[in-house]
Every structure is written in C-alpha cells, then in structure tokens.
Amino acid sequence: MTIHIGAAPGEIAETVLMPGDPLRAEWAAQTFLENAKCVNRVRGMLGYTGTWKGQRVTIQGSGMGMPSLSIYANELIRDYGAKTLIRIGSCGAMQNSVKIRDVIVAMTASTLSTPSRGIFRELNFAPCADFGLLEKAVTAARGKDCGVHVGGIYSSDVFYDERPDLNEQMVRHGILGVEMEAAELYTLAARHGVRALAVLTVSDHLLTHEALPSEDRERSFGDMVEIALEAAFS
C-alpha cells in the first residue's frame, strides 16, 4: 500500500494500462479482463487486476494531467514493480490527415513543462516511447478497422489553452495530436528503466472542430485497449 494506491503487495501486475478516467479503467477491466478484481479505490482512482489471454494485467486510472499521472506512475514503478506502462486515452487531432476515431501511437511527446522539468535544468530532454512496444502496437493497429498514425504528439499542461500561436507551430511541425500525460510517462520510464507507450484514440479535432459522439466512444476506445494489450504481450 502507498499513499495513493491501496493495493496489497502482489496485487499489481507488471503490465499496467493507464487511462486517465477511473471509470474508463473500470469499463476496460470489465470488458477485456477475466477475473478482474478492484485493487484500488483510494480517492476514487479505480484500479483493477485480472488476466488477458492468461497474462496478468492491471488497469489503473491516472487522473488528468502530468502531475496526477506522475504520482501513480512513480508509485506503480517504485513500490509495485511495474515494468510496462501503457497510457490509453483520448486526444485531439492536429493534422488534417488524422481523422476522428483514428488511433495515434506516440513515438515522441513534446511539451512546455512536466513535473520532471526541474531536474533537467537547461536541458531539453526528448521523451520517447519504447520502440519494441511501439513496433508491436503499430502492427496490432494495422489489423483493426481504424486509421493508424505514428509520430510525435504534444502533451499540454493545460486543457483550456489560450495559445493559438503555439498550436499553429505544433501543426506546422507535424505534431499529430494533443493530450495531457504522455511526456511525463515517457520521462519517468526512461528514468526508471521501464517500458512505456501511449496509444490514443482521436476523440476531437482542433482544425475541423469535429468530435466523436458519446455513443461511439466505447467501440472506438475498444480498439485502443486491444492494441495496447496486444503490444504488451505479443
């Protein structure tokens, strides 16, 4: 048990999927895992452990934003021995070639600031995914009925962004989508020598202003969860 995770020793698997929304963690566990058991309820940040095709998996909510994810990722790695952490979540598209319901597999994650920024001082550290996970996720995604894009994303530390000039530069430099957690996850994975990846479903579009209808989200998010699981264990 840690400050923020109430699981007993041995209740967290070495492979952890991390959606931001704890209710999405509950849905994913009930939908994709066998014998799923709730192992964390602290602060309502639900976590479940079960099996997928005989492999132990934990699905643990991370909350919104890099500071929140940093708390859970640190404790999962340092106190529970997690070795593979895959963020599963939604993102906003930033290129016309990226469509609603498409999946983005994030190779890199640019950002203005993360909770880890202070330790690097003047260095602009470039956080990136584990290549083995990324390669397997791309292979898995190509077998799904969805578009797949591989490249850089932007991890924002604000949701209500008032920097249209910055968004313009993200688009100009080929950033595929924006979310709020992956850059810190990739940084922590590098620091602790574990594997990390972000697999994201496009739920809205910053250029066209389209948004995924709520009734379609579960089906689209299901592809993302399956891709993450196949990447972890294939």
**Structure confidence by residue, pLDDT tens digits, 72-115:** 999 999 999 999 999 999 999 999 999 999 999 999 999 998 89
Residue 205 has pLDDT above 80, yes or no: yes
Residue with tokens 């910053």: 206
Active site residue 204: yes
Q: Which residues contact 157 (CB under 8 A, 6 or more apart)?
A: 65, 66, 111, 112, 113, 114, 180
Q: Output the pLDDT for position 218.
A: 65
Q: Which of 13-22, 44-53, 212-221 has the lowest mean pLDDT?
A: 212-221
Summarize the annotated binding site as residue ranges: 4, 20, 24, 43, 87-90, 179-181, 203-204
Please provide the average confidence, as pLDDT, over all residues in the chain.
95
Between CA 73 and CA 205, with CA 104 as vertex, the angle to 5 degrees is 110
Summarize pLDDT for 28-65 with one digit per residue, the tens: 999 999 999 999 999 999 999 999 999 999 999 999 99
CATH entry 3.40.50.1580 includes domain 15-233: yes
Pinpoint the alpha helices (H) of the chain: 22-32, 66-80, 117-120, 131-141, 164-172, 182-192, 214-233
Summarize the annotated binding site for a purine D-ribonucleoside as residue ranges: 4, 179-181, 203-204
Query: What residue ranges do the domains of the chain occupy?
Result: 15-233
* Predicted TM-score of the model (pTM): 0.95
Q: Output the pLDDT for position 117.
A: 87
Residue 214 has pLDDT above 90, yes or no: no
First to last CA, the chain: 30
Summarize pLDDT for 124-155 with one digit per residue, the tens: 999 999 999 999 999 999 988 889 999 999 99
What is the three-class DSSP state of 52?
A: strand
Pinpoint the alpha helices (H) of 82-130: 117-120
Summarize the annotated binding site for phosphate as residue ranges: 20, 24, 43, 87-90
User: Which is catalytic among the residues 102, 130, 204, 223?
Assistant: 204
